[in-house]
A and B are shown apart, each in its own frame.
Chain A
Amino acid sequence: MRVEYINPFVESAYGVIQEVLGAEVERGELYLKSTSMPVLGVAAIVGLAGDVEGRVLFDMSKETAIQVASQMLRSMGMEPIDELNDMGRATITELANMITGQAVTKLHDLGFKFDLSPPAIFTGDNMEVSDPGVEALIVPMQIPQGKVEINVAIRERT
């Protein structure tokens, strides 16, 4: 993981989450992981292509996802949700989009160019993600609604 990439992702993740949820975000220790990883239950994935290749995954439990989406909806004066419906999924997708978008903008300012794929959202139990040949940087965050993990696996084109 190229060191220049790390900060933009970490900064925009904290920034965006703090802003949209209006809550304190507790930072966890960053670490690297290369084996396959369990997914907590709801995962939004954004692909990256260009100078680098890889993907960013936003991972949280279903419960957390519902609460996060509700909080975001409330802040826009909309009805909160009590199950992960279309509105809830769209909201989580948007959160992922905002974070990745902001990170990529920061990286663009540093001279790295890449494109984003539209976010996709996965829900389900017993899911795992593995990226053969890429090490993932895990950015753990604790928010009042639960645990959110941002899992960045990108690499230089060789």
Chain B
Amino acid sequence: MAEKTSTTEMLRSTGTLAAEQRSPEGEDGGEAQRADIVDFKMVTFSLGGKDYGIDIMKVKEIAKIKSYTYVPNTPHFVRGVYNLRGDIISVLDLRRMFNLPVEEKEEGQPEDGLILRLEENLPFGVIVDRIDRVVGISRERIQPPHPIFADINLKYISGVVEHENRLYIILDVDRILAKEEEAPEASRGTEISALAGGSGTEEPGEARPAATGAAQPSARASETEDPEALTFEFVSETLATFAGFYVSDVNKAWMERRFGEWVRERQESGQDTQLSSAEDAAQYLRDFYSPHTGAFWPEAYGEEFRKLLPSDEPRGYTVWNPGCAKGFETYSLACILRSQFPEARLKIWAHDNDLLSVSTAPNLVVPLQGVPELHRKHMVAGKNGYAFSQEIQDLILFEYHDITSTNAIPEVDLIVARDVLSFLPVQQQQALLSEFSERLKEGGILVIGKNEELPGDEWKAVELKDIRAYRLKDAGG
């Protein structure tokens, strides 16, 4: 049975702890003094040698868990059920869940665990390596997670915080357990539709834990025991891990079609349908990308694209091209616009958050071979190949920029964001979409990936071959 320590007791003891930590001593004085207001307390513990924290408000109690009952036919990270003073609760092992090394304990030894209390769900037990203590910090110091914490799926992390020279990774338990927990009967099916709902209201870039299930395709698995649905969910999850591709309403149609194909393809060749590496994920996404990704657009595609542009030459025409990568598509866009509107004031804001790619963009030099005709007249010969003329260069502003941060660009006539949305976490997809509609002038055009589509009725689809474009409906209509 459990030897429990009540959390209130822990809380009380940390009152003094936090006060001590605030005293300005130690050589790194400046760092410690910044723990000004303690408005966030977390229970810290270690998993596979790293420090983690969970919001104390989610923790019902801290327990030494021993003698739980093994339950057959459960995922490997379920350790069994446990009798918590008469209530039967399930116990998960976070280390197994995140595929971290598990310290072997002797038979019958109690293990450190936390009993978590989540809204809607029954209490849950989780087993960790070692409970450390309760740490009080200021919410302001919590920083968004960084991709280096790759050993745990980024979406389970609500932030990181440094405290007394230790880095704590704060886990978002709502998300972790929302995935495992059987959804309650009543909320079935409502979760996916929540995804589609209109404009996101939260600030972009703000690291906020998602509401239970609102953003994840997780409802799928709980809907049914069907192994196919489970595989689908697994594939969706692994796409996020290996390729940063997030399944949402934007790409659901493609995803469902592709999944059927994929299963057939793999079964015919006798391979596992699940994705086990980045190569598998790339293979899966093979035909997701829009035509001519990362390359100049050939004439035919350019001609189709021109149909999106206004027939009368405007005085000024501004374009936003997030996810410009090495700039090939941006240059194509510039050449098309210049030939369509020879006199207009043109400006293209091209952004990417990959520093290496976008750094090469302003000085792009290519061999002339294979360059479409339209581009050639804007190119000048240099030492190592052909580069674009100053006239074209001046139209484009390449910036190293993360679109999930504040976007300081003016109102634009056209947004070209092919295959950008699908590579953002679902919450950010929504935030970015509402940002798109804010930044577009009335009647402006948004171009997204060929295999993406927009939910909601704010946007009116434009029928074109190979190009998926939408017109922002006028505010009045």
Contact = CB atoms under 8 A, between A and B. Distances in A.
Interface of A: 1-4, 6-7, 30-36, 38, 40-41, 61-63, 125-126, 128, 132-135, 137, 155-156, 158
A32 B402 contact: yes
Contacts of A40: 30-31
B205 A125 contact: no
A15 to B, nearest CB: 18
A6 B400 contact: yes
B405 interface: yes
B402 A135 contact: yes
Interface in B360-383: 361-362
Contacts of A3: 358-359, 361-362, 398-400
A61 B359 contact: no
A35 B205 contact: yes
Interface in B386-407: 397-402, 405-406
Given A3-B399, A35-B143, A135-B408, 14 more contacts: A3-B358, A3-B398, A4-B398, A34-B406, A35-B206, A40-B30, A40-B31, A61-B30, A61-B31, A63-B30, A125-B30, A133-B406, A134-B406, A155-B408
B397 A1 contact: no
Interface of B: 24, 27-31, 33-34, 36, 140-141, 143-144, 146, 205-206, 353, 355, 358-359, 361-362, 397-402, 405-406, 408-410
A137 B400 contact: yes
Contacts of A135: 401-402, 405-406, 408
A4 B398 CA distance: 8
A2 B397 contact: yes
A134 B408 contact: yes
A34 B33 contact: no
A126 B36 contact: yes
A37 B298 CA distance: 45
Given A126-B36, A133-B408, A158-B410, A32 B28 contact: no
Contacts of B141: 38
Most A CB within 10 A of own CB, among B28, B206, B400: B400
Contacts of A31: 146
Nearest to A33: B405
Contacts of A6: 355, 359, 400
A134 B407 CA distance: 8
Contacts of A132: 406
28 contacts: A1-B399, A1-B400, A1-B401, A2-B397, A2-B398, A2-B399, A3-B359, A3-B398, A3-B400, A6-B359, A6-B400, A31-B146, A32-B353, A32-B400, A32-B401, A32-B405, A34-B406, A35-B143, A35-B205, A38-B34, A61-B31, A62-B30, A63-B27, A125-B33, A125-B34, A128-B140, A133-B408, A156-B397
